Amino acid sequence: MRLHIVIKIISFTLIIFLITLNAQAKNTKITIKNSFYTDAKKQGLSHATINTIIRTLSWRLNFNALRKNDKFSIIGSEKNHPDAIFFQRENKNIQAFLWGKKYYDKNGKSLQVGFLKAPLKYQRISSKFQYRRYHPILKTYLPHRAVDYAAKHGTSVYAVADGIIKKRKHMGALGNAVFIQHGGNYETVYAHLAGFAQKLRRGQIVKKGQIIGYVGSTGRSTGAHLHYEIRYNGKRKNPLRYKIPKAKQLSGNELKKFKQRIKTL
C-alpha cells in the first residue's frame, strides 16, 4: 500500500517537472524583416527581454547592421532573462546560454570579454584623469576625464576589448578619433590619432588587441600622445582605477553541470 502511494507521488512529481520544463522551454523564433526590436515585439517579447538580448549579444553582433532574414531563436524568458539565445546568418552563428546571472557560449566562456590594461605600448602617462586640469592650449582650468599616454608618433593603438566601431572620423579638438561600443554598457574612445588602421569602418566588429589606429597629434594637441576614455552608460570613468568586470571561464564541476544544462536547450 505504501509502495503504491510512493509510486503515485513520484509520478505526480515527474508530471509537474515535465510541465514546468516545457513552460520554461518556450521557443520564440524571430526572422528580421524590419528591425530586431520591431520584429521581436511582434513575436510577443517584452521590452525588458529585448533589452537583455541586445545587451548580451552586442559583444558579438552589431544590431544596427542586421540583415533581412537574419534569424533568432529565444528559449524561455523567465524574469526577462531567456535560458538561451541563438543567432544565425548563413555561416555566422552565435549561441548564448544563461548560467547564474550571466551568459556564456557553449564552451563556458563569458560573452563579455576582459579589457586590456592599456591600448598601446606607451612611454609615460602625460596627463591623468582629473576634474580640474590646466589646459596648455586654452590656458584655463578644465576637466580632463581621460588618460593621455605619451608615445612615439606612429605607435600602434589597439582595441582594448571586442566591440563594434561606433565612430571613425576627424572630430575637431579630438582630431582623428575612434569610438568603440563594447556590449550594451561600455564604450572606449581613442583620440588624436595620426591615422586609422586600413579598411577600418563604422559598424565593423573588432577583436581585443586588434590595431585600430596610430598615435599622432591631430586636433587640439601639443605633441604625440593618445587620449583614451572609458565610458559606462555614457559616463566617463577613470581608466586607471575603474574596475571593469573580468571575463569568466567556467571550469571543473561547474563547467560539467553547465554542459549538462545546455544539452536540454
| pLDDT tens profile 61-101 | 888 889 999 999 999 866 789 999 999 998 889 999 999 88
Same-domain check for residues 170 and 136 = yes
In a domain, 229, yes or no: yes
Give percent of the chain with pLDDT exceeding 90.
60
**pLDDT of 22 above 80:** no
SS3 content of the chain, % helix, strand, coil (to 5): 25, 35, 40
Q: Look at residue 2 in the predicted model and tell me its pLDDT.
A: 58
Q: Are residues 9 and 44 in the same domain?
A: yes
Please report whether residue 242 resides in a domain.
Answer: no
Give pLDDT tens digits for 40-69: 999 999 999 999 999 889 888 888 889 999
Q: Please, are residues 83 and 97 in contact by the beta-carbon 8 Å criterion?
A: yes
Percent of the chain whose predicted confidence (pLDDT) is above 70: 88
Q: Are residues 95 and 174 in the same domain?
A: no
**142 part of a folded domain:** yes
Least confident window among 135-149, 187-201, 251-265: 135-149
| 68 and 138 part of one domain | no
213, 149: one domain: yes
Mean pLDDT of the chain: 86
pTM: 0.72
Tell me, yes or no, whether 89 lies in a domain. Answer: yes
Q: Which three cell numbers stand for residue 262?
A: 545546455
DSSP 172: G
Question: What's the pLDDT tens digit per position in 117-166?
Answer: 899 999 999 988 887 776 777 667 677 889 999 999 999 999 999 999 99
Q: Residue 142 is part of a domain; what is its CATH number?
A: 2.70.70.10
pLDDT digits (tens, 9 = 90+) for 213-229: 999 999 989 899 999 99
Distance between CA atoms of residues 187 and 161, nearest Å: 10
Residue 153 inside a domain? The answer is yes
Q: Could you tell me if 68 and 147 lie in one domain?
A: no
131 and 224 fall within a common domain: yes
Q: Residue 118 falls within a domain, yes or no?
A: no
For the chain, the domain total comes to 2
Strand partners, 125: 149
Q: Domain span at residue 180? A: 124-237
Nearest partner of 232 among 130, 145, 170, judged by Cα: 145
Say if residue 170 is in the same domain as residue 193: yes
